[in-house]
Each structure stands twice: as structure tokens, then as C-alpha cells.
A and B are shown apart, each in its own frame.
Chain A
């Protein structure tokens, strides 16, 4: 290789050399400058259509797709100005304004604890209880208890409800909890090796218990204090009302004991007086005191309160005192057990971060798209993927395995199959995209199930054409390949006129899914 012609240019003020024909994106990458991309990925031909990789060239008013545009002598490229970010964000927001589908199921959005309900149900539908339990425990420490007392906001917004009746989510979750208790020995989650760090949790209600469940799994030791001699806090009311059998409560609390919790029950901690001592003996303290009685502000004062409420971070529960956190009813006025439980887990995550890294980092916010109300046709299309059976209440109070499986089969599976693996969602998070900025008419949400292994949702397609490129590879699509169809806002990717996906794709469907940057193409997962 004698002399490949090179040009000199600057990117973000730094000078570099690049061979003629190199794209601006490639030149930036060699300098360690990351430019996000959406419609293009390495190994494919760039089309420059999505503008998420937009950059600016000094002296030009328009934005440039860096995946496509090649370097030129003397170019001064800017990759991270406010204007560039705004252009990228607007491009995403325009795409999102025409995106038909939900990232997460509405049930998951409606669950205060954020349980991935569709995933749990998928596991149960094929009787994979270990997996269902693992999914549940990620967000809910006490599924058997909540399965009996939760008012189930998830079921109120379940999309199936619009067709006939919502999926029996709460009963299914209860079955997961009961299953864990019924095993011999009852299941406990895996805990990391001890970290040697110790956390005091004051209050053995849902928030405190959830926090302990999370921290014990992370390898931290927990001392749980409560005035009462029995753990459960507010859960005792449900027990007194007969909604919660004592053995269920005891069973789930016993799990914490087996995970290594140190109970300091019947031990009154005088607050705020003894807080300093507790903090000295522990690496962190979580106050999970439940709803506070009137006049508490007088006792506490600065820096815990300014007289009108707790001065604490709503997400992480961190207070003005390093290592002192609040969780549950003390931080949120809600009396819902599931909300207190969710808060206990979230705060425990913050505590874990603080213990490990010395700083409190909240859980990252995830962009979640919602399609809004569905048309009758859209609902019908979702129904095609579910069992038509009506909602049935269990004959006995609890679901039998067969009943549970039937109930699980009713789930519409309306969450996105690619929710953890979607570049559109990732970019929306990174660029803080607002889904409703350009609200307007959105496409119909359609699911094409003609291929046995592949699901195609045209409403989630961004018309990048990567799958079409895959279909042009030798042997990929002997049945006819893929093409763009129509133009403008109506453009879509589809098999040739008169063919369906099964007929057209003869190669490995996974290659198409791997190429697709969004949830438009996914492997069918229902029974996998």
C-alpha cells in the first residue's frame, strides 16, 4: 500500500487525519469520540436516514449524517454541541411520534413495584416456576403476601380488560409466592458473599422487609428493629381482617431469617435520640417507620425536616445525614403495601450503591413508550396471540397449576419483545426524548405472525432498511426477499407483493432480528 490519500480535519476541536472515503463517524470513533447511531450499524451500508448520528460542520447551516458523510479536507466537525443534541433529539421524537407499541406492558407501568408481569406470566404459561419466581423477586420481596392484599392496579389497566376481562395477574403472582413457600425446603434467593457491612433497618413493615430482602441478597448484614414482637408492621391489619393467613406472613418472613436477617423485635428505638448511636454501630441506617404521627417535626428538626415534611430524596431516600435513609410511608404518604415495598427496595438499591461506591445513585430512568388507547382492530390483533378463554376464578382459593397456566395464556403479551434490546429506546434515554412533543396521528399497531419463528410489527419499523440488506445476502431469502413498500409516511418494509414472511424468508430468522435496531422484528417468544 503505497500512499492512501488522506485528508486533515478537526473533530470537536482536535485535529486528525483520515483516509479519503472514511465516514465522519469512523474518523470520530478512531479518536475515541462516540456518536450515537440508530439506523446504521457496522457491517451494513449507511443510508443516513435517521439523523440520530447528526453532526454539524462549522460554516454550514444544515446537519449532516455522520454515518454517511465522508471526510473532506479542512472540515471542522462538531459532535456534541447543544444544537447537535437538539437535532438528534428532534429526530428521535419524530420517530417516536409515529411509533405504535408499548415498550413495557401497561401492567408493569401500573405496578408500583414495576414487576415485569408479562415476563412472569410467560414463564408461568409454560410452567417454568423457578424463572417466574426469579422475575418476581427482582421487584417483589413478598409475593405470597401481596398476592392476597394488593388492590392490583395492574389489572385495572390491563389491555385485555378492554376485550373481556383483565388477566388474573394478582392471583398468578400469589401462585408464584405460594409455590416458593411450598417447596421443600422453601426457596430463598441466592445471596452474594458477605461484604462485612451492616445496615440497621428500623421498622419491620413492608418497606423495611423489602429493603432487608434486597440488602441481604447484596451481601450486607441487616439488623431489623421493631417495637412489636412480631414482624410485619402494617401487614398485621390485613391479618386481623382475615385477608392474610398468619402462616403466609410467617412463611415469607421466615425466608428473611433464613437469608440471615438479625431480628431486633420488641426493641424500642428512641428517635431521634438513639440515631447517632445506631449510625455509629452500622454502616447505614434505614428509617422505615411507616406513616408518622402528628407533631413528629418537633422531635426531629433540622436537617431531617423543615417543618413541612422529610427532607429526603424521593427516589433514593437519602437524607441530609450521610448514611441515613428513609423508606416507605415515612417518605410517601401512600398506605398501599405494594408502594411501601417498592420504596423499600428502591432505597435499598441506593444504600447498596452508597456502601459500595460511596455515593448515592438512583436507579436509571428508562424511557417507556406507550401507544395509548387501542383501536378495536389493534385489540383484535393482540387477541390473536392469546387464548380466547374468559377469565375464570379459581375453584379453590388458589390456582391449580392447570388453572394458572390457562390464566397465563390469556395474557396479550403486549409488551415489546425487544424492550431490553432496543436501540430506539436506548437513544431515547440517552437524549432525553419526549414522546409527546410532536403528537399526531400514529400508525396502526400491527403484528404479522405469518412466519413461525419471527414476529414483524410494522408500526415499530423505522425504515432503516437493514433487514432488506440482510435479505439480499446470498441464500437469505430465496423466497423473494424484502422490499420497501409505498412511500412517505406510509412506507413500510414487507415481503414482495403477494408473499408473506414465511414464504419469503428462507434463511436464519435470527439474522434479521439481529439487524433490526427496534422492536419491529423479534423472535416469537411465547412458548420459548
Chain B
């Protein structure tokens, strides 16, 4: 009997079936809906569906167990998700994970505490890379978590009043009223909300109501300056805009008063009294007033924005993502209208071909050529699929575009569909992107209302329908053929290509699969001309690319830069370089399919071929900056852990090969490498690269191969039992030096009580208990904790050398 299954449940399941349909291809949607309802998949729900639909129990079982998003066991009352994206990883996510397990006393294979209060989950990326490390409790995202804070975070969550973020509706003030004194724009993308922009919105709403100001409060898309969020832009009518970074909810009054006078005399009087009280009586208020400077004041915004060229991310900071009418006023759907009017689909393809646009999903296949293949392929109907299954840990470009510019992507998709002669479109978007899905669905509704979707698009004879399919957290489904299987309601197993989807795709019919960012560029290219797009970039890589810049960089965020710009410029100019006192060591590009490029190679231009030649790849756009405290062997291990976990298990090289690679890398990180491990690593990495069935397997060894290529010294050091970056916990230890003043701060913060507090004496660390989290070192006011590299267990090293000169044991 499935836990908690009651007699009401069959009715619930039947209702879900009525909504999603009973065809085999509805399996994923059915399971998503059941999962949303129960937070897990009760087995009896699957049994019931198999009995009363064309889905079989075998199919549903296979699909349910394939996708990481689905849980087959009931969850605790609250779900705690720990982001394990690259940026979070390099900033200590594994320590957070362990600290939470310790805090909740969860051991072994369990993921829920004994009281069934909290269930712990790892999530590939929460898309808040600039806040790393990040965890999510319920719907509450907490950034910059430290291991010693996890207990209080959980307690705060339980103690806090009903969440306000979930309830906020963000109804924009009516813009039609032209008598307004001005506009206030607040970015409300997922990551902005994670940093409290929803609360800021509420603060402004209250302040406007209180002061009865005639100010239009407007929700806008992503500005990209994630490190500065929440961002508020104030535009009094007829004046220059002012952009405020890192605004807090309490700043609303202050900002409002700075730019707009309250409407009524009584309010004005009360307001000035309040202001006087606040500024005179509280230090905090005075300080905040001085602090709250426009972003442009120190030139940071300018540096961040100067080198960028905004094509796909154009106007996002000014437009309401959900205002189709506004998109229309700003020239939206104009290019679709023009294409339909000219009735020259081949001409559109020629234009896209001439622009040099290439697939932004990572592989860089020429978009025009792909469109042409689909157009020429025979078969009816033809499909267009927008691939929004962004799964790289540390990449959230597509999510940002879907959240901020759903109409633009829809227009791009419609133009593509018209050009190739498709009649059905599908958005495949991760279920982990609820806001993107919500906005996308709303945009589709609006577009249908405006006549851009349906049986007679734009009044022509062309019919085009669109639906949304929610992915379920399988990284491999970003691969075309796996994506198709997933949409057909199957496990996301890729198949050998050719035939390519252009020829035999969804249901065996010609199918165009394009990435979100690729399609977002299409309206711009049609508007500005192929020449304008092709004028940007290098000989073979044209236009712009959006990157998620994060890691050990001062200003992280989402950026759109012209192809050909050097990586160094991106890191140092846009990102402001690494933190003071640290050394820029490498960039990680392309996520688990990419690799690490050392700092001395970073004058390389961003260009598909140049990056591939250097052993890294463009990928979908994750760009993580690493400094001297990051270990390259550990980075390779981290990515292999990800791909190994995400392998679909179909082909031998990927299924077993990545696992064996991971085992070797784990040995190295623990200083237990065998003498033959380096050769084996290289040989196997090459084998997996050359013989895997799909792109996931074939690119999975890239992090290993680049580490071997550029950081061989570091690899050798690990063979000798040292981690030069002081990162691998099996190879480091901490020691208290005689600078210790006996303040016992370290003992108080140690999460495992490895330091017994001894006031006014020099503390000491019990190496047996110590988990090498490094909190003591960070907390020590006297810098009295030293990091030692090399295995602390010296006896072991001696024994091994004596026992086997060739290093085997």
C-alpha cells in the first residue's frame, strides 16, 4: 500500500488524467501533475493511470524512475534544496550539504530527518550563482550560507511568519494614466526575487499608497547585474533615470521621497516629520541615507555595461515581461508580420544564413543551414521545438530570457516555424523554472489572443499551435534526440544520429530544435539586417553570446558580449577581476561539457573554433572564474560527478566509463592514486570522448582532458599526496599556531566539536573529528589557524612507499 493513499485519491488522479490526456506521450505531463499534487509519485497513482489510459505501467515506471525531479518516496514537511551548481560548489556547497545532514542527523541513504520535518535534496542549479552558496527552504532562497548558519536558517524558516513572496501578485499600476509623475522599475526575475526584490516591490507599493504619489510601479526583466540586485530604477517624467543597486525593502520611502514629492499637504507634513525623526535619531537611518547611492556614481555600472552588446537581452531592464501590448508597441511581432506579408520563407532562411547565427545551445551548428534542412525534409506535420532544458550547473541564460522576454522568444519561434513550414511548436522547459513557465504560458495566451497563434496566424492561411512541455531535471534531455524521446513521453534516452531530427524528429517527422537564446536573436536580425549581426564577432562566430558570469569574480551576473571579445576582458573589465589578495587562476567554460582554461590562455577570443581548439567549449554559456584556492583536479572530479550522475545509462562508454573516470579522480583527490592511474585516466577519457553514443558522453571527459592538458603539475602533486590549492579535504589539515589568544571563537563555531574550548589557552584541533571545513580559519580574528597541505597521516605515506615502490597498494 502506498503511504497516505486514501479513497479520495482515485478521483484526484482521474481529474489529472482528464486534464493532461491519456495518450502515451502524456506520460511526462501526467507524472508532473501527480508530483505537483503529492510532492512525490504514489505507486497506486501510476497503477490507476495504467489501468485507465493508454500509458502502460512499464512506461510510467521507467519514466518515473528516470527523471531526477521525481521522487518515489513521500517527502518531509519542508523540502530543503542545496544548490550544487559550479559557483556554489567552488564556494563550499559540499560543506553546506554535510552541515545540514549533521544538523538534521540524517545518515546513510536517508534524505529526511527522523521527525519528517525536512527533506534534503541536491539541485543542479538554482540560478543564483552570484549569491553562492545558496540553499532553498520551501520557497525561501537563502544566499551566502555558511555551514555554521544552517541550524539557525532552518529555525528561522520554521519561526517566520507566512511567506510574503509567494503571495505577492505584482499587479503593475495602470500605465494608461498619463498624468503620472514618473516610473519606478523593479527587476523581478527569479534571482532578483531570491535577493528580496519581491519585498522591495511590496515596500514601494506601500510607500506609494502611503504618500499617494502618482508613480507607476513597473515589473521589468533581468538587467544582468545580479551582484547588485535588487535593482530599482527611478524615472521621474522628463528626467534622467537613476539606478539604485542593492535596495532593501525599507529604502522605498527614502528613494520615493528623493525623487517624488508626496501628493497631499498632510502627507507631506507627516512625512517630513518622520524623515526628521529617522535621520536625527537613528544612526542606521542616517548611514543608509548616505549609503544609498545611485549605481552610476562609482562607475561600476558603466564598466559592467560598456563592453556589452545587447541583442537578445535588449530592453529587458525597461520592459514588463508580461505585457504583450508593450512588446507590440516597441516593435514586437513586427518582424513576424513583415515575414508573413512578404511571404518569402526561403528569403528568411537566406537572411538567417547570411547573418552567420549559430546554435547557442553549445554545439554551434549554423542555424540557417538547420532551418534549410527542415524546410527541405519531406513529411507533414513539421515541428519546431524550443529547447529550454537548460541543465548546466551554473548557467541560467535561458531561464532569464524566458522570464524576461517570453514574447521575443515566441516571435523568434514563429518566424522559424514559418520559415521551415512547421505547424506545431513545443516549448520544452525545465519544471525547476516555475516563473519562466508561468510567464511563458501567459505570453502564449496573450499571443493567441492577439491572433499570433492559432488556425490563422496574423490573418494568413498559416496555422500554428504551441504547447509547453515541462522537463523533469534530466541534463541529458538537452540533447536533441533525448529531448524528443522525453516529449514523446519516454525515458530520455538519446539515439544514434543521423538521421537528425531535421529529417526524422518528433513522431518521425521533420523537426527543428533550436535553443532559446538562438531564437531570441532572430527578431533582431530580421529588424537590423543580417549584415548588422554578421558585423559583430569573428570570421566564423558572429553576433553576441550571453554568459552567466560567476565564481570568484567581484561582479557576477548575466552579460551579453560580442563574439571575439577576449575572456580576460570579460573577467577583468566586466567582472572586475577576482577578489583582492587572490590570484586569477582559470575560467571554467561550458559547464560539465567544457573545461578549465588557465589564466595565461585567457587572451583567447570567444569564438567557437578557438575555444574548441583550446579544449574547452562555448557551451551554453556558463563562465565560472576560479582563483588560487580552487583545485583543478577537484573541479574535474566535480564535473565528472555531475555527468556520471546524469548519464542516462544507455551506452556502455558513458554509463561505465564516466563512473570509472570518477573513481580515478576521487582516488586522486584523496591522495590515493595508483601509479597507472594517470595513463588510465587519459586513455579512458579519450575512449569515452570517441565512443559514447551522444553529446553528453562525448563531451563528459572534457573537464578531465583540460585538467590533464593545462594543470598536469597539479595532477602530479595529487599523485604525491598534495593539493597545492589546499582544497582537497583528504589532503589537508588545520593546525592552531601560537598566535592563538584563547578566545575560543573557533571552538564555538566548529560544527563537529573538534576543538574543545580552553579559554586563554592555545586551542588544539582533534584531527580525528575535524571535517576540514575551514570555518575555524575564517572565524579566527588572529589568523592563528594554519592550513597544511599533504596528508596528515604521515605513517600511511611512509608505509606505502616502503610496501610498494611502484605505488600500487
Distance between Cα atoms of A468 and B650 in the complex (Å)? 13
One of B530-538, B540-548, B652-660, B788-796 contacting the partner: B652-660
Interface residue? A496 (CB, 8 A): yes
Interface residue? A484 (CB, 8 A): yes
Q: Which of A335-364 contact B (CB under 8 A)?
A: none
Q: Which A residues lie within 8 Å of B62 (CB)?
A: 483-485
| Complex interface bits, A459-487 against B, C-beta within 8 A gives 1, otherwise 0 | 00011000010010000010011111111
Interface size classification for chain B: 35 or more
Q: Which A residues lie within 8 Å of B46 (CB)?
A: 497
Interface residue? A498 (CB, 8 A): yes
Distance between Cα atoms of A491 and B652 in the complex (Å)? 11
How far apart are A470's CB and chain B's nearest CB, in angstroms?
12
Interface residue? A457 (CB, 8 A): no
Interface residue? B491 (CB, 8 A): yes
One of A63-71, A408-416, A511-519 contacting the partner: A63-71
Interface residue? B663 (CB, 8 A): yes
Distance between Cα atoms of A434 and B193 in the complex (Å)? 55
Q: Which A residues lie within 8 Å of B656 (CB)?
A: 94-95, 97-98, 438, 489
Q: Which A residues lie within 8 Å of B32 (CB)?
A: none
Distance between Cα atoms of A65 and B646 in the complex (Å)? 22
Q: Which B residues lie within 8 Å of A312 (CB)?
A: none
Q: Which of B470-503 contact A (CB under 8 A)?
A: 474, 491, 493, 495-496, 498-499
Q: Which of A49-74 contact B (CB under 8 A)?
A: 49-51, 54, 61-63, 65, 68-70, 72
Interface residue? B644 (CB, 8 A): yes
A47 touches B649 (CB 8 A): no
B687 touches A484 (CB 8 A): no
Q: Which A residues lie within 8 Å of B655 (CB)?
A: 463, 488-489, 491
Q: Which A residues lie within 8 Å of B58 (CB)?
A: 468, 471, 477, 480-483, 495-496
Residue of B whose beta carbon sits closest to that of A471: B58
A62 touches B698 (CB 8 A): yes
Residue of B whose beta carbon sits closest to that of A495: B58
Beyond A49-B650, A65-B693, A462-B652, whether A438 also contacts B65 by CB under 8 A is no
Distance between Cα atoms of A485 and B663 in the complex (Å)? 23
Interface residue? A280 (CB, 8 A): no
Q: Which A residues lie within 8 Å of B61 (CB)?
A: 483, 485, 496-497
B647 touches A480 (CB 8 A): no
B660 touches A61 (CB 8 A): no
Distance between Cα atoms of A477 and B655 in the complex (Å)? 28
Q: Which of B38-79 contact A (CB under 8 A)?
A: 43, 46-47, 50, 56-62, 64-66, 72
Which one of B56, B66, B650 lies within 8 Å of A480 (CB-CB)? Answer: B56
Q: Which A residues lie within 8 Å of B259 (CB)?
A: none
Distance between Cα atoms of A483 and B65 in the complex (Å)? 10
A496 touches B57 (CB 8 A): yes
| Complex interface bits, B665-705 against A, C-beta within 8 A gives 1, otherwise 0 | 00000000000000010001001011101000010000000
Interface residue? A48 (CB, 8 A): yes
Which one of A51, A471, A491 lies within 8 Å of B653 (CB-CB)? Answer: A51
A484 touches B491 (CB 8 A): yes
How far apart are A204's CB and chain B's nearest CB, in angstroms?
48
Which one of B56, B649, B680 lies within 8 Å of A463 (CB-CB)? Answer: B649
Interface residue? A490 (CB, 8 A): yes
Q: Which B residues lie within 8 Å of A471 (CB)?
A: 58
Interface residue? A87 (CB, 8 A): yes
B691 touches A51 (CB 8 A): yes
Distance between Cα atoms of A175 and B50 in the complex (Å)? 56
How far apart are A88's CB and chain B's nearest CB, in angstroms?
9
A87 touches B693 (CB 8 A): no
Interface residue? B645 (CB, 8 A): yes
Interface residue? A405 (CB, 8 A): no
Residue of A whose beta carbon sits closest to that of B667: A440
Beyond A488-B644, A496-B60, A497-B46, whether A94 also contacts B653 by CB under 8 A is yes
A68 touches B60 (CB 8 A): no
Q: Which A residues lie within 8 Å of B651 (CB)?
A: 48-51
B65 touches A486 (CB 8 A): yes
How far apart are A458's CB and chain B's nearest CB, in angstroms?
13
Distance between Cα atoms of A91 and B60 in the complex (Å)? 30
Interface residue? B648 (CB, 8 A): yes
Distance between Cα atoms of A69 and B498 in the complex (Å)? 7
Q: Which A residues lie within 8 Å of B496 (CB)?
A: 48, 65, 68-69
Q: Which B residues lie within 8 Å of A481 (CB)?
A: 56-58
Distance between Cα atoms of A463 and B687 in the complex (Å)? 20
Interface residue? A499 (CB, 8 A): yes
Q: Which B residues lie within 8 Å of A441 (CB)?
A: 659, 663
Q: Which A residues lie within 8 Å of B64 (CB)?
A: 497
Q: Which A residues lie within 8 Å of B650 (CB)?
A: 47, 49, 463, 491
Q: Which A residues lie within 8 Å of B660 (CB)?
A: 94, 97, 438, 440
A440 touches B649 (CB 8 A): no
Residue of B whose beta carbon sits closest to that of A50: B652
Q: Which A residues lie within 8 Å of B72 (CB)?
A: 497
Closest 7 CB pairs of A and B: A491-B649, A483-B62, A481-B58, A496-B57, A483-B58, A94-B656, A497-B61
A62-B689, A91-B652 known; 18 other A-B pairs, CB under 8 Å?
A47-B650, A62-B690, A62-B698, A69-B496, A69-B498, A87-B691, A91-B653, A94-B657, A94-B660, A437-B680, A441-B659, A480-B56, A480-B57, A483-B58, A487-B649, A489-B655, A491-B648, A496-B57
Q: Which residues of A contact B (CB under 8 A)?
A: 47-51, 54, 61-63, 65, 68-70, 72, 87, 90-91, 94-95, 97-98, 437-438, 440-441, 462-463, 468, 471, 477, 480-491, 495-499
